[in-house]
Structure 1
Amino acid sequence: MMQPFFHSRIFIFFTILAAAGLVLYFGGVFQAWGETHIRIAVAGPMSGKNAHVGLAMRRAVAYRVEKMKERKDPLAGRIEILVYDDGNDPARAEVIAREIAERADVLAVIGHHYSSVALSAGPVYKQYGIPAITASATADEITRDNPWFFRNAPANSFQGSIIANYVSHILTAPAATVIFDRDDYGASLARGFSLEAEKLGLAIKNQWGFDTTAQDADALLESIPHWVIDSGDPGIIFLATHDAEGARIVATLKHFGRDFSFIGADAIASENFLTALEKLPQERFRKGYYSDGIHAVSSFLPDTANRTAQLLGHDFMERYGEPLSDIDIGYFDAAGLVIDAIGRTLSQAAPPERSNSMKDRRNAIRKYLSERTDPGNAYRGSAGEIYFDIDRNLAKPPWIGRYQGGRLLSAPVQFQPVKAWIGIDNPLEEILAERIFLVNKQFLHRLQVIYAGIDVNAISDLSVENGTYVVDFYLWFRFPGEFNDAGIEFVNAVPDEGSTGPLTLGEPIMAHTGQGVTTRAYRVKGKFKGEFDLRDFPFDEHRIEIRFRHKNHTLDKLIYVPDLRGMRGGASRGADYGFPPLGGWQVTDVLFHQDALENNSSLGLPRYFEQNVRIEYSQFNAVVRIARQSLRFIIKSLLPLFFVLVLIYLSYFIRDFSSRMGLGTGALMTVAFFHLSSTTNLQVYYLVALEYLFFLLYFSTVLSILAPLIIEYHQRKADRDAAHIPVARRIAGNIDRSGRIGQPILIVLFCAWMFWLFG
């Protein structure tokens, strides 16, 4: 009777265990089925000549959701993206907007691409009360007087004002010529630039407009460069045009052989602008032949990207084979903001959430977006903070880029919002000295760009247990004007043995000044501390980091950007970075990026005691990502454990009790010894991945010890009672068969689980 009872208990136990696992595993699926889908519409040019832009919009939104799924965000499984093709056609956009708005299950709209298209769709969204956000349509009228439309990009009037101030104060040009498209996009840019130029006393020599829909558009585009030549010195030429027309004008004027200065709006910063120029033979022969020296504004520049945007850019390159564009990151962040609004409003909804009407849920999302009005409650996107002005436009000024070698890099001077007046004793003096500007009712700092570069020579003395390492590297700064690099502070440097103080730059090994730009280079060797997480040991990956900032200059006055053109390997993944490999480790990537180091302090000034004053410093980060060569470590350090598993398995083929007990207890002591020796030095309070292997070994060895004990118990009972002999034989046979079959299955399942977790 014992054997059936014994087997029935085991069967019931494993049945309950399997049922519990199924409930836990599929519970989320059943729950998701019981909840409503969250539907978001993406509207853009999915066909026609701008279909590539529509593809970028769609994939950016989809990738945003995919990243949520990677983080196991429960909201991600409920999101459904509905794609609509407006063909960049205003009439078609109005029809599509009405189709979207009349659906009872769409919470928000992300799109459209062109200003004229968004202007056509906007009134429909306003009429039906559905929130929409664009990251590319920049005409002011889109969001003005429409509380349902938001923009993750600066409005054209703001762009025009920024450009006029940059031309007047930074480039110090006395005059300008405006060439503009007469559509909503170009006309509003030209108007914003001209109004601000008049306030600044910047002379407008000529303004020439064209209509791309007119029959004589080609003839007019051919004539405008000749008019520029005939007018004498045009000053700086402001291109308030789309990318293709801007490229055509630049190329035609370049053919005349004169050296013209250009500055353009965000369309001139797009990949399409460069693509149009690359079709010309001179540009193919020498990259940058047409574009070098042109200034353009953009909401995103790769060299100003923080770590999040850098990693996103690498992910995009690996997945799509294309660099991250302003469209990609603009709509990626727009989707993130919309989803954040949906998630927060759902969490605040009265249960059950389905009882709330669609009208109420849409209005709650609109209200949440409308409340993002300052840096203090901004949404932290990959390209930085997103907060809106009174007309729901991105309130941050755009970056100013300058083409060099066919790439748009940060210009030496930028504008940055004045987030706090702490440390500014005389604002009027700062304004008169042109260190602070008033643009569109917003105060902006004059921001100095410091191009910083690091070439690593060697990494040594890596101690994963202590999180320390020694790095020998070249560091240089390139800048116009003045920069006190003696104030550089290495944030994560730690004192080395024999050191008498904090790590400093020392004397420069090279200093050079030419054409108003100074370069100073140093050789630095120091000990640094990283934040190493060993939970994945021995499949762990870590970051070797060098971080520095200026002790006195805050982010509103100075920003570091990686000197990608000058560094070894630049921004290319998989390049030869020029330093010897670390033993037992593989370099998987090298990143250079800037971000903000934040402190909240009133600095003891009474007028700031009740305020949330945020002081930010620009911090430069050089990151070498390394991965442990796990297979080599396992073979070198854990090979004896493989033989332990083999011996445990062989024990199920041995009949002798003493031999089996000897194998089991010996295996247990061996596992314990290796466990202690492998993990003691790590000095961590949490479990590491390797310990799961030891838990498997402990489980296997304990079973290998229990098996002969059970067999021996029944064998002795059979010695006293002959009737028990068949039972003892069956139990011994069942245990041995279970061990011979079960242990390999257990090992295979464990290996599959580890491969799923760590690849």
Structure 2
Amino acid sequence: MKPTLVTQTALFIFSLLLYCAACPAQTAQPAPNQTAQKVYVGAYVMNLYEINPDAHSFYADFYLWFRWKGDIDPTGIEIVNRIEDWGANDEPFSDSVTVLKDGYNYNGLRMEGRFFHPFEMERFPLDRHVLDIQIENADYPLDSLVYLPDTANLIRMKPTLRLPGWDIEGCSLTAKTHMYATDFGNTDLGQEPYSNIVLEIPIARPVTYFLLKLMLPLIIVLLSSIGALVIFPSRSYVDARISLPIGGLLTAVFLQQSYSDALPDVGYMVLMDKVYLLAYAVIGAVVMEIILSANYLKRNKDTNLHALRRIEWYMALFLILGFLAGNLLLVFL
């Protein structure tokens, strides 16, 4: 009787899981109405500058154009994440709509301004950000107007565009739906979704910045500190041995402060902070080994110094490999 009950329970649970997997997931974003006017949007980025993680903002200069068929003029747009509207510059291509040979209406804007972007710095200095410019029409909801990427023009930025200190990985347009969590006091309409087109520009810091400007000085400091274990463990060399890791510790503190001043005030540890914690642990282990070996030599006059030296050489190799392995785990995990 008991096996039958267990079997029936297992079959019920299995059937319930199959039903849940077969049911389509409910989405919070409604599909656009088929009768909505479709507008094809293209963009071309001319300049990108003043990336400011402290102020969570960046400046962009770009062209934006629209192709559509219908009575609604889609050029009356709102930049959702633009700040400092007083410093913005929006110039239309033409004062009137141009009708193309294929029957589409055409017009556009050249836009320049400052835009908000929340910079997350956990992966600094290997951080990657997707700068976004969110464009929508606040007058017509999703059932009246839909923005779609213009796939006929895939080159989204100037080929010579460069951003000092960053690698620009491309540029793309993505159609999204923006649902405000309020009815703005209009209880007759309720909450309405709006079509949203997002210009996305992924950027990343060069790997050479991490390796040459941040890691190379730290590795030199660590090697000089670990080098104290290579010095022959004699009672007369204790002061010379202990001075190397102590000096390395002070240098590491100043090196960490030099890059921390360039970061915004964040309440969490960035990747480079974790690298320095690992470096502090290595230097601390060197200091402890020198102190322990000095005390051991003081208490034991007949110690085999060559055997102790061999142990410290192995320890130095272990610390170097451990630091490298720890950094690989921090970077790739």
- With normalisation by structure 1, the TM-score equals 0.39
1:562 to 149, 158, 162: 149
Q: In the alignment, is residue 653 of structure 1 matched against residue 230 of structure 2?
A: yes
Q: What CA distance in whole angstroms lies between the structure 2 residues aligned with 1:606 and 1:537?
A: 46
Partner of 1:362: 15
Partner of 1:513: 99
How far does residue 509 in structure 1 lie from its aligned partner after superposition? 5.0
Following superposition of structure 1 onto structure 2, how do residues 674-713 of structure 1 map, counting pairs within 5 Å? 674-682=255-263, 683-713=265-295
Partner of 1:741: 317
1:500 to 86, 91, 100: 86
**Alpha carbons 1:715, 1:728 under 8 Å: kept:** no
Q: In the alignment, is residue 621 of structure 1 matched against residue 188 of structure 2?
A: no
**Alpha carbons 1:555, 1:617 under 8 Å: kept:** yes
Matched residues, number: 321
Give % identity: 21
Partner of 1:247: none
Distance change (3 Å), C-alpha of 1:509 and 1:650: farther
How far does residue 604 in structure 1 lie from its aligned partner after superposition? 3.4
Structure 2: which amino acid aligns with 1:639?
A: L
Distance change (3 Å), C-alpha of 1:354 and 1:595: farther
Q: In the alignment, is residue 586 of structure 1 matched against residue 167 of structure 2?
A: yes
Q: What CA distance in whole angstroms lies between the structure 2 residues aligned with 1:604 and 1:740?
A: 69
How far does residue 355 in structure 1 lie from its aligned partner after superposition? 6.9
**Larger relative contact order, structure 1 or 2 (CA cutoff 8 Å, min sep 6):** 2
Higher share in helix:
1
Partner of 1:716: 298
Q: Structure 1, residues 605-662: CA drift from partner, whole Å, max 9, x if none?
A: 5568xxxx54211111111112211223431344221211220221112241111222
Distance change (3 Å), C-alpha of 1:473 and 1:481: same
Structure 2: which amino acid aligns with 1:707?
A: E
Secondary structure in 2 aligned to 1:600?
coil
Partner of 2:134: 547
How far does residue 364 in structure 1 lie from its aligned partner after superposition? 5.9
1:464 to 49, 53, 68: 53
Q: Structure 1, residues 28-51: CA drift from partner, whole Å, max 9, x if none?
A: xxxxxxxxxxxxxxxxxxxxxxxx
Q: What CA distance in whole angstroms lies between the structure 2 residues aligned with 1:355 and 1:530?
A: 54
Q: What CA distance in whole angstroms lies between the structure 1 residues aligned with 2:217 and 2:13?
A: 65
Q: Which moved more, 1:705-714 or 1:644-653?
A: 705-714
Q: What CA distance in whole angstroms lies between the structure 1 residues aligned with 2:188 and 2:106?
A: 40
How far does residue 462 in structure 1 lie from its aligned partner after superposition? 1.2
**Alpha carbons 2:142, 2:195 under 8 Å: kept:** yes
How far does residue 526 in structure 1 lie from its aligned partner after superposition? 0.9
2:26 to 374, 378, 392: 378
Larger Rg, first or second structure (1 or 2): 1
Distance change (3 Å), C-alpha of 1:587 and 1:673: same
2:246 to 645, 661, 665: 665
Q: What CA distance in whole angstroms lies between the structure 1 residues aligned with 2:7 and 2:271?
A: 42
Output the aligned Cα RMSD: 3.0
Q: What CA distance in whole angstroms lies between the structure 2 residues aligned with 1:746 and 1:469?
A: 39
Q: Which moved more, 1:598-607 or 1:541-550?
A: 598-607
Following superposition of structure 1 onto structure 2, how do residues 416-427 of structure 1 map, counting pairs within 5 Å? 416=33
Q: In the alignment, is residue 479 of structure 1 matched against residue 61 of structure 2?
A: no
How far does residue 369 in structure 1 lie from its aligned partner after superposition? 5.6
Q: What CA distance in whole angstroms lies between the structure 1 residues aligned with 2:68 and 2:188?
A: 35
Distance change (3 Å), C-alpha of 1:366 and 1:489: same
Q: What CA distance in whole angstroms lies between the structure 2 residues aligned with 1:504 and 1:355?
A: 69
Q: What CA distance in whole angstroms lies between the structure 1 residues aligned with 2:302 and 2:140?
A: 87
Q: What CA distance in whole angstroms lies between the structure 1 residues aligned with 2:246 and 2:268?
A: 27
1:525 to 112, 123, 128: 112
Distance change (3 Å), C-alpha of 1:363 and 1:715: closer
How far does residue 521 in structure 1 lie from its aligned partner after superposition? 2.1
Partner of 1:23: none
Following superposition of structure 1 onto structure 2, how do residues 72-151 of structure 1 map, counting pairs within 5 Å? none
Distance change (3 Å), C-alpha of 1:607 and 1:469: closer
Q: Structure 1, residues 383-403: CA drift from partner, whole Å, max 9, x if none?
A: x76xxxxxxxxxx6xxxxxxx
1:644 to 213, 217, 221: 221
Q: Which 5+ residue runs of structure 1 have no aligned equivalent?
A: 1-352, 386-395, 397-414, 417-444, 570-575, 718-723
Distance change (3 Å), C-alpha of 1:368 and 1:629: closer
Distance change (3 Å), C-alpha of 1:355 and 1:471: farther
**Alpha carbons 1:561, 1:620 under 8 Å: kept:** yes
Distance change (3 Å), C-alpha of 1:561 and 1:367: closer
Following superposition of structure 1 onto structure 2, how do residues 624-635 of structure 1 map, counting pairs within 5 Å? 624-635=201-212
Following superposition of structure 1 onto structure 2, how do residues 20-35 of structure 1 map, counting pairs within 5 Å? none
Distance change (3 Å), C-alpha of 1:605 and 1:534: closer
How far does residue 728 in structure 1 lie from its aligned partner after superposition? 7.8
Secondary structure in 1 aligned to 2:107?
strand
Q: Structure 1, residues 477-527: CA drift from partner, whole Å, max 9, x if none?
A: 1122333446311111111xxx637x4634435752235422112211111
Secondary structure in 1 aligned to 2:151?
coil
**Alpha carbons 2:183, 2:192 under 8 Å: kept:** no
Structure 2: which amino acid aligns with 1:702?
A: G
Q: Structure 1, residues 161-205: CA drift from partner, whole Å, max 9, x if none?
A: xxxxxxxxxxxxxxxxxxxxxxxxxxxxxxxxxxxxxxxxxxxxx
